């Protein structure tokens, strides 16, 4: 079975991958996340997921790692009216995003890409999240908690922002950062089973 690397600094993605019983090594894969001209949100997240996987593989090979390794990359974007809401640059930016999301439904796109020495396969998963109206006092208190500062769209559904969510259509784990159903299917195509901690699935 090939070794698996997760090209992500996100603790949430590490927790989700651990949840489905897949051993892995986390590595950093810093890439330029600037959207390209005329790039759709779906194209954007897939490009970044593939780019992170490629950067991770390059890092592994440069340190004498095995070319048989598999590298998983992922990227998540919050999309409102066709516009990508990235990580906030400051408090004003975060409050503006939360105000835009308030009382509305938005899309969350998460792409995953799995790469080995022979091929790279990717998936893009779309989910819809509905927010209740958010009071300005709530948005300010939420910013003060520190949680929104490194989150796409300025919120974390698995954290304090859960109280804003009135509906979710799609994959909860994808909104958090890693769609587990699709990730498990993709890993299986590369010979990496889930639930490896269970006796029957040990290699």
Which of 141, 150, 157, 139 has the alpha carbon at shortest distance from 98? Answer: 139
d(CA 10, CA 6): 10
Q: Judge whether residue 94 has pLDDT over 90.
A: yes
**Sign of the CA dihedral running 85, 173, 113, 82:** negative
What mean pLDDT comes out for the span 88-97?
97
Neighbour-count burial of 33, counting CB atoms closer than 10 A to its CB (0-12 exposed, 13-18 middle, 19+ buried): middle
pLDDT at position 202 is 54
pTM for the whole thing?
0.94
Q: Does the annotation mark 150 as catalytic?
A: no
Tell me what pLDDT residue 200 has. 60
Instruction: Output the average pLDDT for the chain.
Output: 95
pLDDT tens digit string along 125-147? 999 999 999 999 999 999 999 99
pLDDT for 201 equals 59
> Looking at residue 123, what is its pLDDT?
98
Percent of the chain with pLDDT over 70: 98
Task: Say how many C-beta atoms besides its own lie within 10 A of residue 201's C-beta.
Answer: 11
Which one from 32, 75, 81, 150 is the annotated catalytic residue?
75
């Amino acid at each position: 079975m090939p070794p698996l690397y997760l090209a992500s600094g996100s603790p949430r993605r590490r927790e989700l991958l651990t949840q489905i019983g897949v051993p892995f090594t986390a590595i950093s894969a810093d890439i330029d996340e600037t959207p390209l001209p005329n790039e759709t949100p779906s194209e954007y997240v897939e490009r970044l997921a593939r780019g992170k996987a490629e950067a991770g593989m390059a890092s592994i090979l440069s340190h004498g790692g095995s070319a048989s390794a598999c590298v998983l990359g992922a990227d998540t974007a919050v999309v409102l009216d066709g516009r990508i809401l990235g990580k906030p640059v400051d408090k004003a930016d975060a409050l503006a995003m939360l105000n835009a999301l308030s009382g509305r439904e938005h899309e969350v796109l998460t792409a995953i890409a799995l790469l080995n020495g022979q091929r790279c396969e990717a998936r893009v998963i779309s989910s819809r999240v509905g927010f209740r109206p958010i009071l300005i006092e709530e948005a300010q208190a939420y910013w003060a908690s520190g949680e929104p500062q490194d989150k796409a769209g300025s919120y974390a559904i698995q954290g304090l922002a859960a109280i804003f969510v009135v509906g979710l259509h799609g994959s909860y784990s994808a909104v958090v950062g890693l769609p587990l159903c699709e990730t498990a299917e993709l890993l299986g195509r590369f010979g990496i089973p889930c639930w490896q901690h269970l006796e029957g699935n040990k290699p």
